[in-house]
Structure 1
Amino acid sequence: MGGQKRIGILTSGGDCAGLNAVIRAVVHRAVSAYDWEVVGICRATQGLMRRPLDVVMLDIPQVDSLLMVGGTVLGTTNKGDPFAFSMPDGTLIDRSAEITTGYHLLGLDAIIGIGGDGSLAILRRLAQQGGWNLVGIPKTIDNDLGCTERSIGFDTAVNIATEALDRLHFTAASHSRVMILEVMGRDAGHIAISAGIAGGADVILIPEIPYSIDKICEKIRQRQARGQNFCVVVVAESVKTETGEPVTKLECLGQTRYGGIGQYLADRISAGSGAETRVTVLGHVQRGGVPSPLDRLVAAAFGVAAVDLIAEGKFDHLVTWQNRQVVSVPIAEAIAEYGTVDPNGTLVKTARGLGICLG
C-alpha cells in the first residue's frame, strides 16, 4: 500500500486499561512511518452507522498524552449487534449496510479493530460482507482468546485484583473472618487464578475446576487448627453453584449478567464452618484505572504491528503475543480457539503446590 492512505481505528466491546495506549501507538506508527491519515471511529461501529458520521481525525499531538490514560477516548459499546440492531420500538433490523456505507464514505483503506472474540467475529463478518480491509488487536481483561498469551487489559485487571486481595488480608486477620473476593471472568478463570496466587489467597475457585463447600470448609478448619483464624477466598464471577447452576442477576434494562456467586459461597461457608464471612465484589474497578507497564508495552507492540500488517496488505489477521513476540494469525483461527484455564497447566500446578485449595 504505497502513498498516503487513510485508516480507521475503533474500540469495541467492554472497556479496559490500555486501549488508549494502542490508539497512541497506531497513530505514531501510521503518521511517522507511513504518512497516513488516521480516523478515530467513535462508539465502535455505531460511529459508522450515524449520519453525520461520528468520527475524529487523530494526529500525534492529540494522542501523545494517552499512554497512561484508562478507558478509551473513542468510546465503545458492547450492545447493538449491527446484524440484529435493537430499535426503540423493540424490533431488530440489519443495519450492517449502513456501516459499510460509512466505511466507504470515509474513503478508508483499512480499519484496525480492537476487541474480544465477540467483537472480532462481528467486525470480520462486516469486513467480508462490505469488502473492507480489517486488522484486529485482542482486547479482553478475561484473557480468553486462545491464540494469544496476552490481551490488552488483562495485566492491569490482575494487578487491581491482587491489590484488593492484599488489602483484604489485613482486615480478614484483624477480625478472624473469611473474606471472599468476587472478580470478573465471563467464562474463564484467568484473573482469579493469577491474582489468587499473586495475592496469597487460601482458596481459588474458577469455572474450569469443580468444587465442594465441604472441601472449602475443611480448608478453613485446617487453617484454624494451625492458629490461622482467617481465610481469603477469590472466586471468578462465572463459577456456578455446587449443583451446576449459574448465579446471575437481572438488571433494570432486562439484561442478565453474572453476579452473586460470592454471596452464595458466603452463606454456605458460614453455615458449614461457623466462620464470620464477608464479600467484596470488585466489578468494574478491574476495567478502569491507569494501565500497568506491561499492558502499555503490549499495547505499543500491538499498535505498531497492526499498522505494519496494513502496510504489507496482510488483512483479516489478528496480532497476538506468543513466546515474547508479536505474531499475526488469521482472525477466524484466533476466535475459534477459546482460551480457558488449563486444569493441568502451570498455574493450577503452582496453586496446588502452594497448598491453595481449588475446591
Structure 2
Amino acid sequence: MTNRRRIGVLTSGGDCAGLNAVLRAVVQRAVEGYGWHVVGIHKGTAGLLSRPVEAETLDLSRFQGELLRRAGTILGTTNKGNPFNFPLPDGRRLDRSEEIVEGFRELEIEGLIGIGGDGSLAILSRLCEKADLPLIGIPKTIDNDVAGTEVAIGYATAVGVATDALDHLQPTAASHDRIMVLEVMGRDAGHIALAAGIAGGADIILVPEIPYSLDNLKRKIDELRRRDRNFALVVVAEAVRTEEGEAVTASPGAAKARYGGIGHYIGQKLAEATGAEVRVTVLGHVQRGGTPVPRDRLMASIFGVHAVDLLAAGKRDRMVAWSGRTVTDLALVDVVDQPHRVDPQGALVHAARGLGICLGDR
C-alpha cells in the first residue's frame, strides 16, 4: 500500500482514556513516516451515515501536545445503531450498510484504522469487507475483554481510577467501622474489579467468572473481626449476579441490558448478615474519563504506529495486539466474538487467593 496516500481513522464504541493518544500516533506516523493524508471520521459509523460524511483532515497542527493527555476522543464516538440492523423511530430495523460503503467512497480513503472493542471491530470488519477496504483494528476498552491481546487502550487508566477510589474509601471505612462496597464497570468481565481489588487492598472481590455465596462473604467478615479489623473493603464487578443467578440491571426489559445495582444488593445482604454499617459507592463512568495514565499513553503510541505500518505493508483485516512484551497483530476473524474473561485459574486469581482475598467461592 506504499502508493496509497489517504487513510481514514475513527473511534467506535464506548469512550475511554487514551483514544486521543492513539489518534496522535496514527497521524504522526502516517504524515511524517509516509507522507499520507489522514481523515478523521466523526462519531464512528454514525458520521459515515451523515451526508455529507462528518469528517475532518487530521494533520500535525491538531496534535500540539495537550491531546496526548486528554481523555475521551476528539472525533466523538457511538455505541448505538448497528448499520446492518439499524433501529428506526417507528421500531423497524433497516440494513444501512450500503450507506456506510458510500460514505467510504465519498471520503476517497484507501484504508481504515478502527479503534474499538470486539463488538465495534466485528461491525467494522463486515463493513470494510463489503467496501473492499483494508482495515486495521486497534483494541480499546476499559473492560480489557478483547481476545488476543494482553491489554487494551483505556484499561490501565480505569484500574487506576478504581484503585484510587479504594485508597480514598479505606480511611473513612476505618474511621467509622464500616464495610465499604465499591461497584466497578467491566461489562461481562471482571478484569477491572480483580486488578483494582488486588492493588487497592480489598478484602473481598466478586467477579462474574467466579460463583459466590453470601455465607462465604459473611465468613470473611467474621474472620476480619476476629483479627480486630473494624472495617472491610469489597469490590464488585457490575456484571456479578445475585446469589440466585439473577442479573441486576438499570434497564430491565431493554434490548441490551445496562448493568447497575449489584453493589447495593451486596451491600444490603452484608448488612443483614453481619449487622455492620455498610456504604456503597458506584464509580460508573468516572472510570472512562480519567486522564490517561502513562501505560495507556505508551500502548496507544505503540498501537497507533504499528497500525499505520501494517497498512503500509499491504495488510488488511488485522488487529494490533500486545503479547509477550511486544507488539504483534492477528487476524480479526480470530478476535471478534471471542471475549476474553477472567481466568479462574490465572495468575491474578492465584495472587488474590495467596493474599487472603475472598473471591466468594470458598
Q: Structure 1: how far apart are the matches of 2:90 and 2:156?
A: 41
Counting matched residue pairs gives 359
Instruction: Note the C-alpha offset of 1:254.
Output: 7.8
Contact 1:4 1:37 in 2 (8 A): no
**Equivalent residues in 2 for 1:204-219, closer than 5 Å:** 204-219=205-220
The CA RMSD over aligned residues, in Å, is 1.3
Q: Structure 1: how far apart are the matches of 2:283 and 2:337?
A: 29
Instruction: Note the C-alpha offset of 1:253.
Output: 8.5
Q: Structure 1: how far apart are the matches of 2:112 and 2:94?
A: 24
Contact 1:184 1:283 in 2 (8 A): yes
Structure 1: segments with no counterpart, 5+ residues: none
**1:40 maps to what in 2?**
40
SS of corresponding position for 1:241: coil
**Equivalent residues in 2 for 1:81-120, closer than 5 Å:** 81-120=82-121
**Equivalent residues in 2 for 1:1-359, closer than 5 Å:** 1-3=1-3, 5-65=5-65, 66-250=67-251, 256-359=257-360
SS of corresponding position for 1:249: coil
Structure 2: segments with no counterpart, 5+ residues: none
Q: Structure 2: how far apart are the matches of 1:261 and 1:46?
A: 32
Q: Structure 1: how far apart are the matches of 2:332 and 2:255?
A: 32
SS of corresponding position for 2:322: strand
- State TM-score, norm by structure 1: 0.98
Q: 1:72-129: CA deviations, max 9, x gaps?
A: 0000010010011112222211111011001011110101000001000100011111
Q: Structure 2: how far apart are the matches of 1:60 and 1:121?
A: 30
Instruction: Note the C-alpha offset of 1:64.
Output: 3.0
- State TM-score, norm by structure 2: 0.97
Q: Structure 2: how far apart are the matches of 1:124 and 1:60?
A: 28
SS of corresponding position for 1:10: strand
Contact 1:38 1:57 in 2 (8 A): yes
Instruction: Note the C-alpha offset of 1:243.
Output: 1.2
Q: Structure 2: how far apart are the matches of 1:302 and 1:64?
A: 20
Instruction: Note the C-alpha offset of 1:249.
Output: 1.5
Instruction: Note the C-alpha offset of 1:37.
Output: 0.2
Contact 1:24 1:64 in 2 (8 A): no
Instruction: Note the C-alpha offset of 1:176.
Output: 0.4
Q: Structure 2: how far apart are the matches of 1:6 and 1:212?
A: 56
Contact 2:2 2:313 in 1 (8 A): no
SS of corresponding position for 1:222: helix
Contact 1:13 1:76 in 2 (8 A): yes
Aligned letter for 1:265? I
Contact 2:180 2:234 in 1 (8 A): yes
CA 1:228–1:257 in structure 2 vs 1: closer, same or farther (change >3 Å)?
same
Instruction: Note the C-alpha offset of 1:255.
Output: 5.9
Of all paired residues, the percent bearing the same amino acid is 58
Instruction: Note the C-alpha offset of 1:336.
Output: 4.2
Contact 1:178 1:233 in 2 (8 A): yes
SS of corresponding position for 1:335: coil
Contact 2:158 2:288 in 1 (8 A): yes
Contact 1:4 1:35 in 2 (8 A): no
Q: Structure 1: how far apart are the matches of 2:177 and 2:334?
A: 49
Instruction: Note the C-alpha offset of 1:68.
Output: 0.6
Could you tell which deviates more after superposition, 122-131 or 279-288?
Answer: 122-131
Instruction: Note the C-alpha offset of 1:324.
Output: 1.2
